[in-house]
Chain A
């Protein structure tokens, strides 16, 4: 078993009477991709939001690299080593691709908004930041689009940019919320290759609808329905699980 980088136990998020995520526990390991699948409204994105701090959990605990991060703000969790991409493309559209990634890389420098020296330096001349941004851009295959305006590149490229920005923050744990959403076949294939390239050095949570990609990538699967994790195990075990078949294919196939 590889090292466990993130552990969530008994995570619950209630919106009024609705439990969007109900008592879900999961673990993420380095060099393994843990995919979360389930029908629309199952609570997958809410689960990602609980892990990244975008939403505080109603109850339950999240540990990142042995540190209890439950209830932390997203910026603090990010700096603790968790990077995430969003289901809806979440970038800086008026900036160039390079500036998007450079800004992400800048987040790893000491943040001193009150230090007049940081009002006076030139942001584009930091070698450490530029190196990190260049690596992230090359890894995600966007080096030819560096100077394009992010809002004007294709949807697939914007998804790549999401990943590049996340990588520029040098995370240990990656939460990828539907990285393949809306991609063409060739683009999706490239993204799958990228994720496999990233796998050895990261613990990855993949929320995805594209089942071909999920079964091509995932080492471990958790199936969510109505906020609950109804099954968790290897892809082969999940495929043959009767409850999962019922949820996905309808009761009569079970």
Chain B
């Protein structure tokens, strides 16, 4: 479902309007929560470029998310705030560079091997940070300050302000979405879609698919880095869990939950996943059983239900409910 039905586009515009108004009506707690959802939406979109568009299911995508967060933590001095103009490009570059190097090895593999090798590399990165005290070890690192956003000597934005950070994150999410939607219909995006459907034929047609897959892997890593950077800015704290297996697996579930291959689904999936997660964690105690404690069980069942009954995800479901009879299958 690369082309979004009109009904879905209308829903997305309404949701965007709600997101734009929200920081002016919501409490700080919820503003922070939605900021976090939007950061995860950027992360999920970056994975969708691989998973939904190129057919490359990476089970180690959190490595690039976390690496950019660590880059921010290392770049931020102990006693004063560094500029966003310095820390943002360098953090994104670090994540992209790591993806380029790791991608050079992993995009040669296919199917189940690709899944395993991306996971193996991510685990290596995880333990590199987990086992080294210099790199923060299992406790992680503090990001001592939020980066400054100055034009010359004039402070353009104050990221310590929760509403400002919310709006900056919303802007970043929209930019990434717009960029990826445009990319989807570019010669590069069409080649990636061709690789997903039939890589053998792509090569017979003369496409050097290795370069395309490596470029996509690198770009996806860099965008995951953007999300990781924002995470570090928001929480002020980075730990190895951000690069861990669960983080990678959650991103895959977000993309599946929302619907793959169109980036809007990744956003919807990230929001949906986080909402459902909170819902399950807040389940009450029934008798002697703390239902909320077993949220993973409910989450697992929920994802299974989605995959069985709505294989195109929540967005596919929305498109299906609102279709007119003459539309046929969406």
Contact = CB atoms under 8 A, between A and B. Distances in A.
A92 B188 contact: no
Q: Which of B190, B194, B206 has the most CB of A within 10 A?
A: B206
A119 interface: yes
A53 B197 CA distance: 21
Interface string A68-82: 000001111011000
Contacts of B276: none
Contact of A107 (B200, B205, B219): B205
A114 to B, nearest CB: 5
A123 B194 contact: no
Contacts of A75: 202-209
A165 B206 CA distance: 11
A92 B201 contact: yes
Contacts of B216: 113
A79 B206 contact: yes
Interface in A203-234: none
Given A78-B204, A106-B187, A106-B190, 9 more contacts: A75-B203, A93-B197, A103-B202, A106-B191, A107-B205, A109-B187, A119-B188, A119-B189, A169-B205
B19 to A, nearest CB: 26
A91 interface: yes
A104 interface: yes
A215 B259 CA distance: 52
Interface residues of A, number: 37
Interface size class of B (residues with CB under 8 A): 20 to 34
Interface of A: 52, 54, 73-76, 78-79, 84, 86, 90-95, 99, 102-104, 106-109, 111, 113-114, 118-124, 126, 165, 169
B200 A126 contact: no
A186 B304 CA distance: 48
B57 to A, nearest CB: 18
B330 interface: no
Contacts, number: 96
B212 interface: yes
Given A95-B197, A113-B215, A124-B185, A90 B190 contact: no
Contact of A84 (B189, B197, B204): B204
Interface in B293-314: none
Interface in B218-249: 219
Contact of A113 (B188, B198, B200): B188
B168 to A, nearest CB: 23
B56 to A, nearest CB: 14
Contact of B191 (A73, A78, A91, A113): A113
A123 B193 CA distance: 12
B207 A107 contact: yes
A119 B183 contact: yes
B182 interface: yes
- Residue among A92, A108, A118, A119 facing the most chain B CB atoms (10 A cut-off): A119
Contacts of B203: 73-75, 78
B77 interface: no
A146 to B, nearest CB: 16
Nearest to B218: A114
B186 interface: yes
A121 B187 contact: yes
Interface in B170-201: 179, 182-183, 185-191, 193-194, 197-198, 200-201
Contacts of B194: 92, 95, 103
Given A103-B191, A103-B194, A106-B191, A54 B186 contact: no
